[in-house]
Structure 1
Amino acid sequence: MPFSLIRSCAAALLLAAGAAGAQQPATVRVDYLHSGNALQDSYALERVVIEPLPWPGDMSQALDETNRGQNRVEVVDAKNGDLLYSRGFSTIFGEWRTTEEANRMNRGFEESVRFPKFDKPVRVRILKRDERNAFSVVWSVDIDPEAQEVVKKQPAAPAKPVPIRVSGPSPQKVDLLVMGDGYTARDMKKFEADARRLADYLFTVSPFKERAADFNVWAIAVPTEKSGITRPSTGVHNPSALGTRYDIFGSERYVLTLDNRALRDIAQHAPYEFIEILVNNETYGGGGIFGQFSTAAASNDWANYLFVHEFGHHFAGLADEYYTSPVAYQAGATRIEPWEPNVTALRDPASVKWKKDVKAGTPLPTPWPKAEYEEYSRAYQKRRAALRAANRPESEMSALFREDLAHTNELFSKAKHRHDVGAFEGANYEATGYYRSEMQCLMFDRSEKFCNACSDGIAEIIDLYSRPRQAK
């Protein structure tokens, strides 16, 4: 379909969404501050906002039963307590509190929850997993969307959303918003091309490939004065609309924004349920928080991988399956069963999460060339750190990544259980105590396929947000 026609169709859908107020409720956003340290946290309400666009989701699928996320938001009737809406999510604060810094100081992070407007006052509850891995309420606040202090009128959009893929009305589809940061006014065509290229690649990877018709994709970017985003470790400070930057929690490759209000105030002008931020940088980097957003360096040689891998975190709550790369997080004292669908503590091998895919006779735990892999990886990580410390050209880092993947493929090709589903020790940033379902996966290294456990986890979230087409 010609792009001009796609754009006109998308504009028609946006207008239809705006006119469908009687069918689709308004979108309510609660902005709040989440602060504390490694041992305690607290919450404080900042503001309640009625966003410019109607609720993009399917009202028949208001309740989330996937059991994902470190947190959960519940919206209940303020009078009788009936559950009206729920979703699992995780937070930047939740990650920060596992860092060394959280043991010696307090910090505060902006957060938001969004939900459809109900025709009655509601109570918004934030829940958190406890030591038993069960949810318990940690904060609640009563919200009357008609109250005087609620922000009901928004400034004009600082940029117009661009349609990338339009499959149907938002309530029937997953709405993905690709945002740009570090793109100047002259870079806007590059941003649109980057957004289109990476979104197109996403839908070549299963199970997104088979479910492409269940997605709409939009793009929006507010121009910056300079190309590229802030990278403090190299003395680069580029102010930008989203405030995205490298070096989060001291990790040179970790890219996030801590300016949640800026993010939400721009994103609210397009239909969205999920966000991926493209940064206009060549340096390898990205990040992803379940239910919040993900990021990827759009100009890096590994941008395709970064886009999909980080989106896996944000979209489906997939855990990292690698464990030899340095991270900012400290290991936990106990090994409780992770909520993420693709890793396990294997406390009960007979009931492993992905047991439907485990063939009879497959040993659990499952042998793999772990010692050989770790020996090579230690040397590889030293080379990687040396390249970064010397600020070598990004092409040298990309070449090292290609070499590493080739070595892993060769090593694994000779392994007995290369194509089996089992329980392979080493996952979730830990060499022992956590297991992944297959020897290799897009969440383990820079390979191109998700394992079955990840694919199933992704499909479950697609089902939560999209309404399948009726058979003719």
Structure 2
Amino acid sequence: MRYFFAILCFMFHYWAGAQTFDDYFTDKTLRIDYIFSGNVNTQMIAVDELSVFDGWYGKRNNLPEVPVEGNGQIIVRAHKDGSVIYRNSFSTLFQEWLSYDEAKEKNRSFENVFLVPMPKDTVDVTVNLMDNRRNVMSTMTHTVVPNDILIRRLAQSGTTPYEILQQPSDPEKCIRIAFVAEGYKESEMPVFVRDAQIAVEALFAHEPFKSYREKFGIVAVKSPSVDSGTSEPGQGLWLNTALHSNFDTFYSDRYLTTLHLKDLHNWLAGIPYEHIIVLVNTDKYGGGGILNSYNLAMAHHPKFRPVVVHEFGHSFAGLADEYAYEEESIPMYPLDVEPWEKNITTNVDFKGKWENLIGKVPGVGKFEGAGYSLKGVYRACRDCRMRTNENPEFCPACRQAIAELIKFYTE
């Protein structure tokens, strides 16, 4: 009897391990819009709207796993048995805002949009937001019924015009990137496409992207703006652009972002995409990158190439900034907690980072000063694309982390 029971257990685990994307999902994308709001003491998560469009362009393997922890996670569970059938990690501007003094004095709300494969059956979706000690600070679970008549159908009347810049060698095992135009008028779209091509070549001039280039599918999405350029609140300049982007995010002059994530994803509905690079038609220095949300960079500054690659290190690979401010350290990383980012450490739990490279790869060690702090946070090399615009490449630790991520998505 015990032998029979053991066989049943073995077969159950074998069948569970053999489950595939098609067991749970259809070839469609479920877009879930949320509002994250609150202040440093209290955070709230609310469902805004659910939408669906044809085609799923995210991962089809390793569905319940994430390659990096992120500052938050979205988890999809089968309603009938509670098993995790999809998971992804992310970071948000809302969580970053919570680190500023303004969050001690007022409430704010932020749009967030997440994409998951469309389930065949009822699921429970959980969103967890973590603090900088890697503890869950806010969580919310809601149920999604696939045949709910209030799930909006998108892209039924056509998609935004786009050009294919690069086809992947295997459409089923690839990483999809969409370049999105911001601040380009209709007449300026040839300029945008040329800017996107420049960014593509800049990205794939870097290892390990260069070696894995055939695993990426890339499109340029021609989202037109009424005005040319982007808003500069510090100059009193507010423009009417496709994504309503602006400098001076959180009162930082060079921090260029968009808070209008619903508009961003509306332009992309029905287009093959997972990762987003927004090119902004400006020659002023600035940008930003948020894990599994977007990378946004100025297109006409002389440092465009290194900046767009640096920001993709954030938005795609979840790499941390390796620089530190001489004037004032920003305590984003508590020194008694190990950061989840693969390219910095506080030495609390260094295992699984770049210890395998020390003593084997020249120039790799532990160099103090990273993650905006001069003391207590360490990087792998003296310089790196994640530290300065002048360094021409990612350091070995970052290259290793990026390569592992690409393999996670495509193998």
Give the TM-score, by structure 2 length. 0.89
Q: What amino acid is the match of 2:218?
A: V
**Conserved 8 A contact 2:38-2:108:** yes
Match of 1:443 among 359, 366, 386: 386
Q: Which residue of 2 aligns with 1:455?
A: 399
What SS is found at the alignment partner of 1:308?
helix
Find the aligned partners of 2:244 and 2:380 in 1 and give their Cα distance: 36
Distance 1:336 1:355, change over 3 A: same
Distance 1:59 1:276, change over 3 A: same
Find the aligned partners of 2:326 and 2:232 in 1 and give their Cα distance: 20
What SS is found at the alignment partner of 1:187?
helix
Find the aligned partners of 1:28 and 1:35 in 2 and give their Cα distance: 22
Deviation at 1:221, TM superposition (A): 2.4
What SS is found at the alignment partner of 1:201?
helix
Taking the TM superposition and a 5 Å limit, the aligned residue runs for 1:259-270 are 259-270=260-271
Distance 1:178 1:328, change over 3 A: farther
What SS is found at the alignment partner of 1:301?
coil
Q: Which residue of 1 aligns with 2:149?
A: 148
Q: Which residue of 2 aligns with 1:189?
A: 190
**Conserved 8 A contact 2:45-2:138:** no
Deviation at 1:77, TM superposition (A): 0.6
Q: What amino acid is the match of 1:41?
A: Q
Taking the TM superposition and a 5 Å limit, the aligned residue runs for 1:75-86 are 75-86=76-87
Deviation at 1:326, TM superposition (A): 7.4
Q: Which residue of 2 aligns with 1:35?
A: 37
Distance 1:58 1:292, change over 3 A: closer
Taking the TM superposition and a 5 Å limit, the aligned residue runs for 1:251-290 are 251-290=252-291
Distance 1:146 1:47, change over 3 A: same
Find the aligned partners of 1:323 and 1:29 in 2 and give their Cα distance: 37
1:353 aligns with 2:353: yes
Deviation at 1:465, TM superposition (A): 2.1
Find the aligned partners of 2:246 and 2:234 in 1 and give their Cα distance: 10
Find the aligned partners of 1:289 and 1:274 in 2 and give their Cα distance: 11
Q: What amino acid is the match of 1:167?
A: P
Q: What amino acid is the match of 2:265?
A: R
For structure 2, list consecutive stretches of 5 or more residues without a partner in the other structure.
Answer: 1-21
Q: Which residue of 1 aligns with 2:248?
A: 247
Q: What amino acid is the match of 2:401?
A: G
Q: Which residue of 1 aligns with 2:371?
A: 428
Find the aligned partners of 2:143 and 2:357 in 1 and give their Cα distance: 45
Deviation at 1:454, TM superposition (A): 0.9
Distance 1:430 1:329, change over 3 A: closer
Deviation at 1:325, TM superposition (A): 6.8
What SS is found at the alignment partner of 1:271?
coil
Find the aligned partners of 1:452 and 1:233 in 2 and give their Cα distance: 39
What SS is found at the alignment partner of 2:41?
coil
Find the aligned partners of 2:91 and 2:381 in 1 and give their Cα distance: 25
What SS is found at the alignment partner of 1:244?
coil
What SS is found at the alignment partner of 1:458?
helix
Q: What amino acid is the match of 2:120?
A: D
Taking the TM superposition and a 5 Å limit, the aligned residue runs for 1:60-209 are 60-129=61-130, 133=134, 138-154=139-155, 156-157=157-158, 159-168=160-169, 170-209=171-210
**Conserved 8 A contact 1:64-1:464:** no
Distance 1:454 1:235, change over 3 A: same
Distance 1:132 1:442, change over 3 A: closer
Deviation at 1:281, TM superposition (A): 0.4
Match of 2:409 among 458, 465, 472: 465
Q: What amino acid is the match of 1:223?
A: P
Taking the TM superposition and a 5 Å limit, the aligned residue runs for 1:392-431 are 419-431=362-374
Deviation at 1:352, TM superposition (A): 7.0
Q: Which residue of 2 aligns with 1:398?
A: none
What SS is found at the alignment partner of 1:50?
strand
Find the aligned partners of 1:126 and 1:83 in 2 and give their Cα distance: 13
Q: Which residue of 1 aligns with 2:17?
A: none
Find the aligned partners of 2:181 and 2:408 in 1 and give their Cα distance: 27
Find the aligned partners of 1:95 and 1:357 in 2 and give their Cα distance: 31
Q: Which residue of 2 aligns with 1:378?
A: none
Q: What amino acid is the match of 1:46?
A: D
For structure 1, list consecutive stretches of 5 or more residues without a partner in the other structure.
Answer: 1-19, 363-418, 468-472
Find the aligned partners of 2:331 and 2:237 in 1 and give their Cα distance: 28
Distance 1:318 1:326, change over 3 A: farther
Identity of aligned residues (%): 31
Distance 1:332 1:214, change over 3 A: closer
Deviation at 1:327, TM superposition (A): 9.0
Deviations 1:130-167 (CA, angstroms, capped at 9, x unpaired): 57635687111111121121112445346312101112
Distance 1:68 1:95, change over 3 A: same
* RMSD of aligned Cα (Å): 2.4
Distance 1:120 1:23, change over 3 A: closer
Find the aligned partners of 1:227 and 1:66 in 2 and give their Cα distance: 38
Deviation at 1:112, TM superposition (A): 1.6
Deviation at 1:215, TM superposition (A): 0.3
Deviation at 1:241, TM superposition (A): 1.3
Distance 1:171 1:164, change over 3 A: same
What SS is found at the alignment partner of 2:81?
coil
Find the aligned partners of 1:131 and 1:192 in 2 and give their Cα distance: 38
**Conserved 8 A contact 1:99-1:330:** no
Give the TM-score, by structure 1 length. 0.78
**Conserved 8 A contact 1:95-1:329:** no
What SS is found at the alignment partner of 2:325?
coil
What SS is found at the alignment partner of 1:49?
strand
Structure with the higher helix share, 1 or 2:
1
Find the aligned partners of 1:259 and 1:113 in 2 and give their Cα distance: 13
Q: What amino acid is the match of 2:50?
A: V
Find the aligned partners of 2:109 and 2:331 in 1 and give their Cα distance: 20
**Conserved 8 A contact 1:56-1:170:** no
